[in-house]
Chain A
Amino acid sequence: MLRAEDVVVSYGRRRVLGGVGIEVPPGRVTGLAGPSGCGKSTLARVLAMLLKPAAGRLTVDGVGVRRWRHRVPRELRGQVALIFQQPRLAVDPRFTVLDVIAEPLRATGQPVERARELAEEMGLTPELLSRRPHEVSDGQLQRACVARSLALRPRYVICDEMTTMLDASTQAHLVARLEAYRLESGAGVLAVTHDEELLDRWTGPSGGSTHHLSAAAPAIRGTAATET
């Protein structure tokens, strides 16, 4: 279980999350919905250990997270993967597509050959792998980001508005790939999106639940994500 409790995050004087909790069980797709600006992405970053909350606790399969961002211990870091909304802002523009996918493998000293298989599983053809991000489409780059996120076989995958920039066919393909990974590995998936139709379709097969985050107001305290 990936569990966040009583998470508080403020940007300057603006409180974005005022004591929010969420549980992402393994083997299921959990939804996280809410309007623009309600703190969905902020919570996603906390869950991926990329943002240290002002208060609150995060545990990954019972192990408490004490260090954040680049100080996260290696054995924890590979457990949770994050896929961002805008692939262009999530890759190093100097890398080739293959480098993008191989980065986590390289960082953990694993054979980088695996990157080619990951690319193939995502439907990326070999001639795309030597290109730089500006030479491929948004959809192709997001496929590479999904491949990258699965490189270390994470226990939890957080998809933060992964498909809002993409056409319907690419969306269906990316979701199908993550579903295949979930079924094969038993990983937990958190689908962050404001698209209710997508959430129903995505969380439904695993019997997962959806949390609704209400719009953040500066004065609100203790608004827990309520389950429906």
Chain B
Amino acid sequence: MTPLPRLRVEGLSVRFHLPGATVRAVTDAHFEVRSGQCVALVGESGCGKSVMAHALLGLLPGNASVEGAAWLESGDAPPVDLVAAPEKVLARTIRGRRVGLVPQSPAAHLTPVRTARAQLTEALRELGNPDRADALAERAGLRPPDLDLYPHQLSGGMAQRVVNAIALAGDPWLIIADEPTSGLDRPLVDATMTELRRLADDGRAVLLITHDLRAAQQVADHVAVMYASRILSVEPAADFFTRPRHPYAAGLLDALPSRGFAAIPGQPPELSDLPEGCAFRPRCARATDDCERLPQPLGSGRVACHHPLENHAAR
């Protein structure tokens, strides 16, 4: 019996070595994404969430060192550790084929001097997909004549669908969407989220990396909150949005204009100078001396906090 397809991230850490400083971008991350699921990784800018995406795609720069593992267990192929596999394997069998990237700012991701069709056709050819560009474009919600446009002639929503089509050219099981909505207006965000949800419902797995909590609420089954390089909590989306247990998650939600519209006091620490213990401690109203020790994720709810908020439904 083949095990359930999943991405299993275990103890993943990424450090950048700079002259005179070590930047801890990801520290000891654990989470899972299964078929049919969309997991949202949320957090403020500079918390390390984009580095996570790059690590899973093997696109980290040369000064990065990686520990831990990210097992991709999908399809009939043997499991692959995405962070340990050599570049040759990643280039020939993983990127585009088993892991697809929906990039930030689609218009900038496309080559400006070639039509959408030329770029989609190239992706299909390189990935050995016999499908025609028109068929793939229609599945992504584009009319075939749209493909003959250059990137600057595409609206934001059309450009988004073109990069979605390219990401799907190799029929990957895992889709990593790195801030796919930044700069889009609400209708386009809605359309992009609907598309990601559809991909998950088709039996793929979607990892959505975003700072936009409302976008996450539209599609995510689970929400992982990242702060100062660590994942602080992984909760079912319904729980996260109604009764978050981590004080940082509660603070983020209370900052939404539709809720309290109140900023969390202070600023996140530098990734090159992280405090001992809980990194959120200096900004946290619930912090005590206990918080000088690093909290271990608690039980199945997975909340790394010594003083989590009550979750009445769980008791």
Residues of chain B lying within 8 A (CB to CB) of residue A126:
none
Q: Could you tell me if B257 and A202 are in contact, using CB atoms closer than 8 angstroms? A: yes
* CB–CB A195/B257 < 8 A: yes
Q: How far is the CA of A200 from the CA of B256 in the complex (A)?
A: 12
Cβ-closest chain B residue relative to A198: B257
Q: Which residues of A contact B256 (CB under 8 A)?
A: 168, 197
Q: Is B86 an interface residue (CB 8 A)?
A: no
- B147 at interface (Cβ–Cβ under 8 A)? no
Q: A152 contacts the other chain (Cβ, under 8 Å)? A: no
0/1 interface trace, chain B 183-224, chain A, CB 8 Å (1 if under): 111111000000000000000000000010100000000000
Known: A164-B182, A172-B263. A37 touches B156 (CB 8 A): yes
Is A113 in the interface zone, CB < 8 Å from B?
no
Determine if A125 is an interface residue (Cβ-Cβ < 8 Å).
yes
As a 0/1 sequence over residues 176 to 217 of chain A, the CB contacts with chain B under 8 angstroms (1 = contact) are: 100000000000000000111110111000000000000000
- Tell me the bound Cα distance from A202 to B182 in angstroms: 21
Q: Are B184 and A36 in contact (CB under 8 A)?
A: yes
A197 to B258, CA, bound (A): 6
Q: Which of B156, B185, B255 counts the most A-chain CB atoms under 10 A from its CB?
A: B185
Q: Which residues of A contact B66 (CB under 8 A)?
A: none
Tell me if B44 is interfacial: C-beta within 8 Å of chain A.
yes
* Residue in chain A with minimal CB distance to B156: A36
Instruction: Give which listed residue, A123, A165, A168, A194, contacts B182 with CB less than 8 A.
Output: A165
Q: Are A36 and B44 in contact (CB under 8 A)?
A: no
B263 touches A176 (CB 8 A): yes
Please report which residues of chain B, range 166-192, place their CB below 8 angstroms from some CB of chain A when the two chains form the complex: 182-188
| Contact indicator A140/B155 (Cβ below 8 Å) | no
Contact B155 A167 (CB under 8 A): no
* Complex contacts, A165 vs chain B, CB 8 Å: 45, 182-183, 211
The size class of the interface chain B forms with chain A is 20 to 34
Nearest Cβ on chain A to B232's Cβ, whole angstroms: 14
Cβ–Cβ contact A166 & B263, under 8 A = no
Closest to B182 in A: A165
How many angstroms from the CA of A198 to the CA of B261 in the assembled complex?
9
With A164-B183, A201-B261 known as contacts, the answer to whether A138 contacts B46 (CB < 8 A) is yes
Number of interface residues of A (CB under 8 A): 31
- B45 to A139, Cβ gap below 8 A? yes
B274 located at the interface, meaning its Cβ lies under 8 Å from any Cβ of chain A in the complex? no
A137: interface (CB < 8 Å): yes
User: When the two chains form their complex, are residues A169 and B183 in contact, meaning their CB atoms are under 8 A apart?
Assistant: no
The winner among A123, A172, A194 for most chain B CB atoms within 10 A is A172
With A36-B156, A36-B188 as known contacts, state yes or no: A170 contacts B262, CB within 8 Å: no
CA distance A168 to B45 in the complex (A): 10
Q: Do A35 and B252 have beta carbons less than 8 Å apart? A: no
A169 touches B44 (CB 8 A): yes
Quick one: given A194-B186, A197-B257, are A169 and B45 in contact (CB under 8 Å)?
no
Verify B45–A137 contact, CB threshold 8 A.
yes
A36-B155 Cα distance, complex, nearest whole Å: 9
Out of A123, A166, A175, A201, which one reaches B211, CB within 8 Å? A166
B297 proximal to A (CB < 8 A):
no
In the complex the two chains form, what is the Cα distance from A138 to B186 in whole Å?
21
* Candidates B183, B186, B211; contact of A85 at CB < 8 Å: B183
Q: Is the CB of A169 within 8 A of B46?
A: no
Question: B282 → chain A, closest Cβ, in Å?
Answer: 12
Among residues of B, the one whose C-beta sits closest to the C-beta of A123 is: B267
Q: Choose among A85, A137, A176 the residue that contacts B46 (Cβ–Cβ < 8 A).
A: A137
Contact yes or no, A35 B187, CB < 8 A: yes
Interface hub of B211, B251, B258 (most chain A Cβ within 10 A): B211
B80 interface residue, CB < 8 Å from A? no
The interface residues of chain B lying within 8 Å CB-to-CB of A123 are 266-267
Whether, in the assembled complex, B264 has its beta carbon less than 8 Å from a beta carbon of chain A, the answer is: yes
A-B contact pairs, 18 of them (CB 8 A): A35-B185, A36-B156, A85-B183, A125-B267, A137-B44, A137-B46, A138-B45, A138-B46, A164-B183, A165-B183, A166-B45, A169-B264, A170-B44, A170-B45, A172-B263, A195-B186, A200-B257, A201-B261
**Measuring CB to CB, which residues of chain B are less than 8 angstroms from any residue of chain A?**
43-46, 155-157, 182-188, 211, 213, 251-253, 255-258, 261-264, 266-267
- Extra A-B contacts (5), CB below 8 Å, given A123-B267, A196-B186, A197-B257: A36-B188, A123-B266, A164-B183, A166-B211, A194-B186
